Structure 1
């Protein structure tokens, strides 16, 4: 009787999840788990925990993702399920993506690599390995290691042995959109998000839940491109759907973008409360990377209101958080803002220290164009991604496309790679 009941609850949970009712699905799966006590049900229990990881991830309950993944590991350490390579790979993947969203990037990288290094002896294992590679790239992005992030994203899309699934392309394009938005190349970010929207339209039946996610993200590049009304419209549509579906990550993202729109319009009375609401949601979820970004917006808001003391305090809070998670771009942005604030308030000594930090972090991040030597990611501008994973200014790309004297038929090598080693990938256009 119990076995039949748990199966019905699992099936009902799957149906509810496909109907975008994750909270109801979670209740069904948790109820099914409570009925599973016999050892022969362990594989079913493991898969049910997988379903819970999936739903918890969608609703922003990242700590619960880790709790379920750790339960899976405990099961795998038992005599009944030991040495099951496929299950171990799935547990590692769940841990990797949970830690990535909680901004524990080094732990995420470790588990993602453990997942990728396992043999892919079936199609499911190959798919999980691809998902883990995307997670690995996102963790590198969180650490501001853009070179490794780009190379891992490209490795998923450019696999020669298998064609990436539509779902996989979506995840990679979404992540690349986030990466270029972080580097203030809003046009390229918009192009990647547009690709995601095209994928959703082509496969609306299975990817409909991702539409609101992309609309919430594409709004930010639109805002920086001066398309305020379009950004507001996308956010309002996404917010309504997210609230209906208990999608807290999208709700938080929309609140942040609403705050940015109001700040750009100098409507600070409406802007700051939305930053606070977004921040509270990200704190509740444990998403510290987005907390840093929201705190940056709050600091800009206070600076615009000429409350420099409060702006400095918020920036230091963001600085501490960015340092804790190892996000160097967050550290860089905080130091840029603090340098200006300290100079304005007359503390030029500390201001110069912040400027020195900016120079050091820019060098560490290699955020400078290998062609012209100028910095990247500080102002809105077009960037090009080279096949080797390095970035240069789009305006500098023609210099690599020209032949050099004595090397007819060959294009100039990537200057960053040339400086690193004798292996010189070239720009192929």
Structure 2
């Protein structure tokens, strides 16, 4: 895993340089978000300093995308920030469940305005987990129902076993008729 992250980082660094050379600020910001994701993943096995680097890159990418009015880019960065804050609250000084909830809600609002159902599903799932940690059963239930509704709308069910997919990383296969099922 670490080797593929290092290769991804090298490719991202190259893309970042090309975006800078061509003056494409939106692409530059998206590359920074990808680098932040890589630093976040590397941070699971390295020092806190790596996690701090990822957060600074997210903030810079979000600022640039917001200034260039790239709403989809904003959603991508906010989704990464929300995931990072939800999973690694202890690494970020001064951040807690409140920060993670706030980021997820902000991401959810923009994703909803753009119709990005998959991002909305991920936000609702993270919110449900965060509310569960806070013992806020009512808010947790609302978030779980919203995630379930989106799962049904997007038809994220295995056509053989009926189990949901799209919530966690899984191997899936598609038939020629476009039905999707779990690879086993």
Does TM-score exceed 0.5, indicating one fold? yes
Distance 1:226 1:309 in 2: 34
Distance 2:117 2:52 in 1: 31
Decide which of 53, 61, 85 is 1:302's aligned counterpart: 85
Match of 2:10 in 1: 233
Distance 1:332 1:386 in 2: 24
- 1:259 matches 2:36: yes
1:327/1:239 CA distance change after superposition, 3 Å: same
1:248/1:383 CA distance change after superposition, 3 Å: farther
Distance 1:228 1:286 in 2: 30
In structure 2, the residue corresponding to 1:253 is in which secondary structure? helix
Distance 1:242 1:290 in 2: 15
Match of 1:378 in 2: 167
Decide which of 131, 137, 156 is 1:348's aligned counterpart: 137
Distance 1:269 1:367 in 2: 35
Check whether the contact 2:5–2:42 (CA below 8 A) recurs between aligned residues.
no
Match of 1:312 in 2: 101
Distance 2:41 2:83 in 1: 10
Decide which of 144, 148, 161 is 1:359's aligned counterpart: 148
Distance 1:278 1:317 in 2: 16
In structure 2, the residue corresponding to 1:265 is in which secondary structure? helix
Aligned pairs (5 A) from 1:22-421: 227-266=4-43, 267-303=50-86, 304-306=88-90, 307-395=96-184
1:286/1:389 CA distance change after superposition, 3 Å: farther
TM-score, length of structure 2 as denominator length:
0.84
Check whether the contact 1:256–1:275 (CA below 8 A) recurs between aligned residues.
yes
Q: Hey, which bits of structure 1, 4+ residues long, moved more than 3 A? A: none
In structure 1, the residue corresponding to 2:102 is in which secondary structure? helix
Check whether the contact 2:26–2:70 (CA below 8 A) recurs between aligned residues.
no
Distance 2:27 2:177 in 1: 33
State the Cα distance separating 1:231 from its structure 2 match.
0.8
Check whether the contact 1:315–1:337 (CA below 8 A) recurs between aligned residues.
yes
Check whether the contact 1:268–1:301 (CA below 8 A) recurs between aligned residues.
no
Distance 2:175 2:108 in 1: 31
Distance 2:66 2:169 in 1: 29
State the Cα distance separating 1:226 from its structure 2 match.
6.3
State the Cα distance separating 1:382 from its structure 2 match.
2.1
- Runs of 5+ unmatched residues, structure 1: 1-222, 396-429
- Structure whose CA Rg is larger: 1
State the Cα distance separating 1:243 from its structure 2 match.
0.6
State the Cα distance separating 1:313 from its structure 2 match.
0.7
